[in-house]
Structure 1
């Protein structure tokens, strides 16, 4: 029998009770909490995973699959989400079918829980800054492009289907494209029990006139979502829109306008939109640095362009890079090792061992990445005694690093993308031989990035 009492524990592990019955197949592992979303045919609940001690989201289809077509549609949604390994798409953790009544099987999906709610709820508090819209647009455009590359259409791109992790008001938002209940293969016609889309307010003009959805129509839908986030209204006909933020804000608005052109053939592509959003933020950062110190601006712009060339930021873990950090930790006998990539406003860890956080603000983390430092590996014997590193989050907080060695990751044309570093929790002087070894591993990381770039170019040149 499903338990409705709150989960014992504190903080993130405590859930309010719910009257909803959980399928027997889930009841031993999960405790179901309150409803946090859903639609006409399903409900989404927050739940506690007893085995792993974490929060998850469970999607329960309200109507048991009484027809073969309905069950196939629900299974198609599960397989689609499982096939999309993308940082801006909700992650499917498990799926199954409740078969207590063999004549009426019921599907359930167990997904990652994204705290903070959906974009619709976020926008109730007001418009986003243009920088937030730019990053939102970049991540969602890449996610939707990945869906299309997999041969599918989402069919319901709306603010309600974009989950946003809770962040500070001025921080970069981290969206997740969710709810693939209306998804179909590109070019496929809806089945007899399927409408073209769940939300007509975000349909492209050609769909309202009776045309079938295409990848271009989903560019429109995403553009309308971003227009609403930027201006407060999902109305592409509005003129004399005032957006604050100078050149960057204007650039973002122009991209959104290009996504919501009435003629589908005239709309920009998702890849161009994603690149444009990223360029707008990067160029603004360069302008700010140029105002403070004109000298390094040109070289920083070139470095950021080189970084974008490798398309490594926010990519999932990869065995080749994880193997490097694992071998570095073992070879140098350190508890902490990481591949750090320096973005516009943050330092992001492509691979990490002994570190819980995935990224850090750039100003406080830059001292440990060697982007502005030497061309050769270097080290700090006691980070607490060095003013440049004493306030670093990994020094001031867990895992309380005391010494580290860093080797810059440098492209063939001389741009420093970041660094490979090894760190210890005690003061330590790294030897010349150890620094040389770390430098060799950093070269392997760069070679791995070059191989990924060459493979991607070969794929698109076919």
Structure 2
């Protein structure tokens, strides 16, 4: 091809196949012949040459040029294609992400809960980054989420793309000639009303995307006007099978009042914990070649004969030591049974058991590591928990699992406070050492009882 032909840009980029087409631009796979690598090139249509179109294209360039994050596609170069005399076309050269977009992926097969948590975590990190730089994406939807596949990595990484309508939140009213900007099915309520939007709008859209990953269906289908109005009248339906932690998170992200939605940093925290929990569950299943490990975990609880034993001063002292290390009023050695959480030691708390569902220990045992809630008033995982929302007033929780030698989590050693606080790596390491001491004591007591019986 020669310079200026439709398939050759700036004497450097040779176009290959069409990857996708939008309302104002087309994206091609291309080869950067100077550097010998494949790239993605977005070429704006020749018809998109009005003053508003040019301003929008320049805004996208400005936004992309200011961003550098692993969850956001990278801009390499910008140029003007002049093959059609008198109708120059701006093009963007971006990294080529190997993998399908989320829209195509959802059309093929449902995602596992672990995969949803990983995708959500990557996207929340990207939103936290761009929001911190004063950028609002305004068009979060499955088609604008690329799933990068790396041969050296065991999991897919989600990347945000298409910043064509992204603007800074202090810009003028974010509409175009009175029309709401964005994709109807994923608009936030404030976008649907044509109001000024900010970072909470992206949080709402991400909530819709994650909900769709679980259900396989768009929460607000239909024609644009019908879809936009629907979210002003009702909240999206949550499937009954959704785990409580996911339900709490998505409910907070999908609040109609933007002030009630968590900031991206809190969503990152919640989804990070979801990744840990789901990955831990997945690894246990792989290790034991089981569809679910709960029956085997309960067998371990029964094997250690710990539910009906009398109070033990050793466990009480360990709990008291944990409370002193963290300078908190409450420390618990818990065992999670089928429907109850039993407190083998309960320093600072006059309770011996609670139902399993509201107990944070039931969530902590799904993790392969520490489970931390440093400020329950801001953590989406805990906002709706009755221990937080009701009279008990829990604001801080740090728990590490009590793990048997064959990898099953029986319960936790946890510390609680009525005030938010942060923890250090040294404190967590101490809590893990104390949890290991609890497990050693449990095994020693079992051996002692068996020796007496024999």
Matches within 5 A, 1:182-331: 182-188=165-171, 189-190=173-174, 192=176, 195-235=179-219, 237-243=236-242, 249-285=243-279, 301-302=369-370
Which ranges in structure 2 are unaligned for 5 or more consecutive residues?
220-234, 285-292, 302-364, 374-423, 431-454
Structure 2 distance, partners of 1:194, 1:152, is 22
2:66 matches 1:83: yes
Q: Give 1:54 deviation, angstroms.
A: 1.9
Partner of 2:386: none
CA displacement 1:312-346 (0-9 Å, x = unmatched)? xxxxxxxxxxxxxxxxxxxxxxxxxxxxxxxxxxx
Structure 2 distance, partners of 1:259, 1:414, is 30
2:115 matches 1:132: yes
Structure 2 distance, partners of 1:194, 1:122, is 34
Structure 2 distance, partners of 1:74, 1:109, is 9
Structure 1 distance, partners of 2:174, 2:239, is 39
Residues 64 and 107, structure 1, Cα contact 8 Å, conserved in 2 = no
Structure 2 distance, partners of 1:414, 1:225, is 34
- Using structure 2 for the length normalisation, give the TM-score: 0.56
Matches within 5 A, 1:55-66: 55-63=38-46, 66=49
Report the count of equivalent residues.
Answer: 288
The DSSP-based 3-state class of the residue aligned with 1:237 is coil
Q: Which has the higher contact order (CA 8 A, sep 6+)?
A: 2
Specify whether residues 305 and 54 from structure 1 end up closer, same or farther in structure 2 by C-alpha distance, changes over 3 A only: farther
Q: Give 1:55 deviation, angstroms.
A: 1.4
The DSSP-based 3-state class of the residue aligned with 2:15 is strand
Q: What do you get for the CA RMSD once the two structures are aligned?
A: 3.7
Which ranges in structure 1 are unaligned for 5 or more consecutive residues?
4-19, 244-248, 307-409, 417-462
Runs of 4+ off more than 4 Å: 99-103, 191-195, 284-294, 297-300, 410-416
Q: Based on CA coordinates, which of the two structures has the bigger radius of gyration?
A: 2
The DSSP-based 3-state class of the residue aligned with 1:138 is helix
Residues 130 and 252, structure 1, Cα contact 8 Å, conserved in 2 = no
Structure 1 distance, partners of 2:264, 2:60, is 22
Structure 1 distance, partners of 2:83, 2:177, is 25
Partner of 1:388: none
Specify whether residues 114 and 284 from structure 1 end up closer, same or farther in structure 2 by C-alpha distance, changes over 3 A only: closer
2:15 matches 1:39: no
Specify whether residues 126 and 254 from structure 1 end up closer, same or farther in structure 2 by C-alpha distance, changes over 3 A only: farther
Q: Give 1:224 deviation, angstroms.
A: 0.2
CA displacement 1:329-373 (0-9 Å, x = unmatched)? xxxxxxxxxxxxxxxxxxxxxxxxxxxxxxxxxxxxxxxxxxxxx
2:129 matches 1:146: yes
Q: Give 1:69 deviation, angstroms.
A: 4.1
